[in-house]
């Protein structure tokens, strides 16, 4: 039976950049730490394993082609193949500690091209099983040079011991129809892993919480120049200041009223904890339930193509 109150843990820490195995080991250690503190849900950020390709925002089109090729190959080699047992240690941690895990990964396509990468969020149950996999629908701006387009097959809300969980990645959260697809499935914990940060982003998450009448968990990327490995191509040109915050994090937990209840966690490495009460959802939706008494299905309808992507033959 789902408890109405649970402790959640939002992990805000830098990955072992571009090292899949060591980043998974780090994630397992963070799950153990969070479970020791009583957390039932552990959330990691966008592309946590093996790290978000932050270089795409600094490389110059054309003239940095060689650097881009070397970095992409490295990212491809360190990406997660879900047809293998890459995530076995993380699945074992979920099972051992009886926690639900939501984690962003670089996913390498295992079915068709075997080389296309996707920005993917995986959800692992307390038995270690893969409950859902969602690929980012629309990579943002230069991200399209790294990731393929996802589909709606993973736009699902899943029942877990901590509540009904769904997720959209970064600027997918600005897509009203994608949001409504999750709202219409009775979402209770809306998870938004992201590379974005700052007051504007946090304000958007507060709007989502009020709009949906649910808990919103924003899990931000944390990265400093000093986290970039020494053998990174053109490291000194792209990241000359070792103290620079490439991304400050800003992880946050927001109640269904839109009130910030934990965070923002800015320029800090650690775990953000928050006790959430699911009964606050029904209180928020008493006046505004956009999929219930505030909906007008006689006027508006949403159709979603949930078929998985397949190559055109």
Of these residues, 103, 170, 219, 274, which one is catalytic? 170
Q: Which two tokens stand for residue 76?
A: 């491809």
136 is catalytic: yes
3-state secondary structure the chain: CCCCEEEEEEEECCCCCCCHHHHHHHHHHHHHHHHHCCCCEEECCCCCECCCCHHHHCCCCCCCHHHHHHHHHHHHHCCECCCCCCCHHHHHHHHHHCCEEEEEEEEECCCCCCCCEEEEEEEECCCCCEEEEEECCCCCHHHHHCECCCCHHHCCCEEECCEEEEECCHHHHHCHHHHHHHHCCCCCEEEEEECCCCHHHHHHHHHHHHHHCCEEEEEECEEEHHHCCCCCCCHHHHCCCCCCEEEEEEEEEECCCCCEEEEEEECCCEEEEEEEECHHHHHHHCCCCCCCCCCCCCCCCCCCCCCCCCCCC
37 is catalytic: no
Phi, psi at 156, each rounded to 5°: -125, 150
Of these residues, 20, 30, 46, 156, which one is catalytic? 46
274 is catalytic: no
Of these residues, 30, 106, 107, 136, which one is catalytic? 136
Q: Catalytic residues, which ones?
A: 46, 136, 170
């Amino acid at each position: 039976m789902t408890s109405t109150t649970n402790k959640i843990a939002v992990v805000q820490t830098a990955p072992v950049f571009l090292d899949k195995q060591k980043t998974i080991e780090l994630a397992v250690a963070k799950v153990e730490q969070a479970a020791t503190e009583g957390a039932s849900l552990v959330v990691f950020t966008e592309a946590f394993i093996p790290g978000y390709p932050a270089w795409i925002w600094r490389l110059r089109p054309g003239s940095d082609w060689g650097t881009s090729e070397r970095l992409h190959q490295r990212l491809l080699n360190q990406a997660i193949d879900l047809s293998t047992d890459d995530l076995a240690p993380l699945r074992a941690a979920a099972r051992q500690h009886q926690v639900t895990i939501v984690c962003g990964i670089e996913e390498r396509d295992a079915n068709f091209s075997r080389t296309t990468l996707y920005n993917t969020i995986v959800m692992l149950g307390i038995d270690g099983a893969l409950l859902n996999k969602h690929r980012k629908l629309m990579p943002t701006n230069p991200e399209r040079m790294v990731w393929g387009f996802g589909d709606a097959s993973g736009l699902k809300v899943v029942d877990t011991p901590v509540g009904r969980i769904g997720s959209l990645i970064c600027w997918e959260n600005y897509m009203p129809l994608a949001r409504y697809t999750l709202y219409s499935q009775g979402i209770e914990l809306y998870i938004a892993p992201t590379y974005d940060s700052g007051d504007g982003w946090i304000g958007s998450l507060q709007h989502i919480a009020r709009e949906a009448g649910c808990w919103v968990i924003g899990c931000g990327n944390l990265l400093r120049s000093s986290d970039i490995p020494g053998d990174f191509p053109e490291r000194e040109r792209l990241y000359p200041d070792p103290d620079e915050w490439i991304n400050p994090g800003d992880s946050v937990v927001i109640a269904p009223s839109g009130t910030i209840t934990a965070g923002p966690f800015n320029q800090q490495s650690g775990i953000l904890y928050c006790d959430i009460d699911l009964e606050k959802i029904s209180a928020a939706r008493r006046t505004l339930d956009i999929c219930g008494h505030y909906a007008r299905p006689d006027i508006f309808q949403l159709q979603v193509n949930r078929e998985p992507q397949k190559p055109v033959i």
